Structures are given as C-alpha cells and as structure tokens.
Amino acid sequence: MLLFLKKHKEKKTMRNFFIILLLVSIILTSNAEERPFIWVDDEDYCPAIYRGKDGKPTGIFNEIMTELFKRLHIPLKKEVYPWKRAQKLIKEGKADGMITTYTKERQKYMVVTKPIWYINETLLFRRDNPKACKILKVNSFDDLREFIIVETIGSGWTEEKYKEHGIKKIIWVPTVDSAFNMVAKGRADVYMMYSWNAFSLLLKKRAEGGPLAKGYQNMVAIAPTFATLPFRLLIRKDSPFAKRIEDFNRVIEEMKKDGTFRRIKIKYAGMTPVLCNKR
C-alpha cells in the first residue's frame, strides 16, 4: 500500500511538472509575440523610406508598415540607418525585418511576404556624356559592362546582378545623394535608380544653382523601365514573427483590395523636392 501511494505521488508530481512546463512555454511564446516587431530600414531611399526632418522614419514604406502592424495588433518599433548598417543589425539578430528585394544571399536567413510594392528601375546619366548614344541602346545588364557605374553600398540586388553579368566597373558610394553627384560630376556614366516624380523634381531643383548645377542640368533618365523589382517585408528566420507570414500576407492583400496602397501611392506621387532634399 505504501509503495502504491509513493508511486502515485511520483506520477502526480511528474504530471504537475509537465503542466507547469507547458504553462511556462505558453507564457514565453505569448511574450515573444507581444514584444514589438523591430523594423530597420534605409535612411536615404526617398520617397520609399528615409529619415524625416524630425529624425524619424518617413515615406511610403513607413505608412505601409504602420498600417499593416496596426491591423495585426502587433507593436512596431522602427528605426532607419545607413543601409549597410540596417542589414547588419538584421544579421546580428538585433532586428526582426526590413523591406527590400529578396536576393539569393537574403534567402539564407530571411523569410518573405508577398510583394508590398513594385519599384521600376531606370538608368540615370548625363546627356552630354560621350557615351550617351550607347547608353540609350542599353537593354540588359550585359550591355552595361563598358560603362562606369555608381552604386550605393548595401544594394544587394544590383550587386548580385553585377557579379552575375561580369560587370566590374563599379564605384561604391554611401548614399543616393553621393551617387547623384558622381553622375553630375561626370565621374560615373550611369546610376541605376527607381523612377519617381519626386526625383525629377529634386534634380530640377539642383539644376537651378550650386557648383554642380551644369551637371544636373544635363542629367536625364532612360524612359523605358530597365527592370521592375518586387519589394517585400523580409523577416529573420529565427524571429518569433517568422511564423506569422500568412497573417502578414492576408493583411497585405486586404490593404491592396481596400485601396490603402493606391491612396499611399497617390499621396507620394505629388511630393515636392523640399520634402526629398535633405541638404
């Protein structure tokens, strides 16, 4: 009888232990999802995402992320940094995600949502460049090999494409602003950038005065789209939010259907150069 009671007590103790373990696991999982999603992104990719005059993230992606997380009832913590640093924070596990293209390198440590935005890439160059006629005939990455290209540090998609097509004449600069100036100065033939009305207004404003005014007066972009890139929310694979990809996709589709994306697009299509020009 005593032996029976002892075994019964041991079973009860073990059962209680597993119940407590299960409760702790549930609590930890719940807390993990209740903590803010840490989003880091580029401070210099206007008008998609950039650092506003108040120092806070602003732009198209900021509005999309704010609405997306509001609908999912997930707290959102957001910061913008130089692009290379933002990506480093993700790799180091100090942030959960970013909005960008899904490259082969990023596939190793990130999962991805459906596209939230499409960006059309075009080629920016000076019309008085001796190679201008050749640039106008560019139809593929292979056609870019003979030109000096300027690109911003951390641009994973273009870096991947340049390596894939054997393009080696590349000048890497820290910001979009620096890339513009390299073309204006004639030190680079081409800069691949996304076409947007705000950029046209910005370049026009810089052509009005300053030491690089002449260079900016001669800057043009190839009208046809060189490439169209889907931008998505990329989430670190070991983030507790990675398992909620389907939730993110569901709300992204809702925002597309109810006109939220269209409203944001219309809002930023009319941006003035003052909003983009951080000088």
Do 35-118+230-272 and 120-227 have matching folds? yes
Strand partners, 233: 99
At residue 225 the predicted structure's pLDDT band, cuts being 50, 70 and 90, is low
Q: Which of 108, 90, 115 is nearest to 38 (CA)?
A: 90
pLDDT at 220: 81
Structure tokens given for 120 = 């059309």
Q: What's the length of the chain? A: 279
Contact 140, 150 (CB under 8 A): no
Q: What is the mean pLDDT of residues 37-61?
A: 92
CA dihedral of residues 140, 118, 99, 179 (deg, nearest 10): 50
Q: Which residues fall within 8 angstroms of residue 100, CB to CB, at 6 or more apart? A: 41, 106, 156, 157, 231, 232, 234
Could you tell me which residue, 7 or 257, shows the higher pLDDT?
Answer: 257
Residue 276 has pLDDT above 70, yes or no: no
Q: What is the mean pLDDT of residues 209-230?
A: 78
Q: b/e map of 258-279 (b: 16 or more CB within 10 Å)?
A: eebbeebeeebeebebebbeee
The dihedral region occupied by 259, where left means phi > 0, alpha psi between -120 and 50, and beta the remainder, is left
Q: Mean pLDDT, the chain, as a whole number?
A: 83
Write down the domain spans for the chain. 35-118+230-272, 120-227
Contact 109, 235 (CB under 8 A): no
Task: For 67-83, write each residue's pLDDT tens digit.
Answer: 999 999 999 999 999 99
Considering 21-35, 76-90, 190-204, the range whose residues carry the highest mean pLDDT is 76-90
Contact 186, 129 (CB under 8 A): yes
Give the homologous superfamily in CATH for domain 35-118+230-272: Periplasmic binding protein-like II (3.40.190.10)
At residue 199 the predicted structure's pLDDT band, cuts being 50, 70 and 90, is low
Task: For 97-115, write each residue's pLDDT tens digit.
Answer: 999 999 999 999 999 999 9
The neighbour count for residue 94, using CB atoms within 10 Å, is 11
Considering 59-68, 178-187, 214-223, the range whose residues carry the highest mean pLDDT is 59-68
DSSP letter at 36? P
Whether residue 47 has a cis bond before it, omega within 30° of 0: yes
The SS3 of residue 165 is coil
The DSSP secondary structure of 210-228, one letter per residue, reads STTHHHHHTEEE-SS-SEE
Q: What is the mean pLDDT of residues 207-227?
A: 77
CATH fold for domain 120-227: D-Maltodextrin-Binding Protein; domain 2 (3.40.190)
Q: Which residues fall within 8 angstroms of residue 5, CB to CB, at 6 or more apart? A: none
Residue 116 has pLDDT above 90, yes or no: yes
At residue 32 the predicted structure's pLDDT band, cuts being 50, 70 and 90, is very low
Contact 92, 82 (CB under 8 A): no
pLDDT at 31: 45
